[in-house]
């Protein structure tokens, strides 16, 4: 990588890979979520992701780059692998929802940083049309319920209620402690 333009192109490819990986994973994730409010949110997210992929294709056209060579985003790959490794063991449904809340929030903030950075680079390079397209997606990401503290509060109370009423030890207890203590939405 030699200059800012190449860095922008790299970021656009990475964002494209991220959205495509989500597009592939979300239908499977949707089938595991038993909480209806979360299901609808993820369903909406899937539709939005599709539109964001189309927008990135326009960005690539404006920059004159191909997205075919976009490699999988390693960060997103690990994040999704982590989620699937937990839910494939079929823990309690409430725990699945807690894991998905956590995943969705991580993804959301990952994307907000990615789009925000790419838009900044585009502006510095005078690529106004590209900056506008990236900015449109950034706005959508920031409005996503998962980036919203209100939904985070809902998640918190849902999980707290579940843990308060449990009488039996949690089968995946070893996973719960590190997961919950690492979550901003449970400590704010």
Residues in contact with Fe ion by CB under 5 A are 52, 111
For residues 134 and 176, which CB has a smaller minimum distance to Fe ion in the complex? 134
The C-alpha torsion from 7 through 10 and 12 to 15, rounded to 10°, is: -120
Count of CB atoms situated within 10 Å of the CB of 173: 10
For the bound state, the minimum distance from the C-beta of residue 15 to Fe ion, rounded and expressed in Å, comes to: 8
Q: Cα separations (Å) of 137 from 7, 53, 125, 147?
A: 19, 10, 19, 14
Q: Cα separations (Å) of 43 from 2, 25, 29, 142, 184?
A: 40, 12, 10, 17, 24
Under 8 Å between Cβ of 69 and 16? no
For the bound state, the minimum distance from the C-beta of residue 129 to Fe ion, rounded and expressed in Å, comes to: 20
For residues 41 and 52, which CB has a smaller minimum distance to Fe ion in the complex? 52
For residues 130 and 159, which CB has a smaller minimum distance to Fe ion in the complex? 130
For residues 30 and 170, which CB has a smaller minimum distance to Fe ion in the complex? 30
């Amino acid at each position: 990588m030699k200059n800012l333009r190449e860095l922008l192109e790299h970021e656009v490819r990475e964002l494209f890979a991220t959205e495509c990986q989500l597009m592939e994973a979300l239908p499977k994730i949707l089938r595991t979520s038993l909480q209806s409010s979360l299901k609808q949110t993820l369903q909406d997210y899937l539709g939005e992701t599709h539109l964001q992929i189309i927008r990135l294709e326009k960005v690539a056209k404006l920059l004159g780059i191909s997205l075919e060579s976009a490699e999988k985003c390693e960060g997103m790959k690990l994040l999704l692998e982590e989620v699937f490794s937990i839910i494939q063991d079929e823990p309690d449904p409430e725990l699945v929802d807690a894991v998905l809340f956590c995943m969705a929030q991580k993804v959301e903030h990952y994307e907000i940083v990615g789009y925000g950075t790419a838009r900044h680079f585009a502006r510095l390079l005078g690529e106004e049309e590209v900056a506008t397209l990236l900015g449109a997606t950034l706005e959508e990401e920031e409005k996503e319920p998962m980036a919203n503290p209100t939904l985070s509060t809902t998640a918190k109370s849902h999980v707290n209620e579940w843990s308060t009423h449990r009488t039996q030890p949690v089968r995946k207890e070893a996973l719960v402690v590190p997961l919950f203590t690492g979550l901003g939405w449970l400590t704010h």
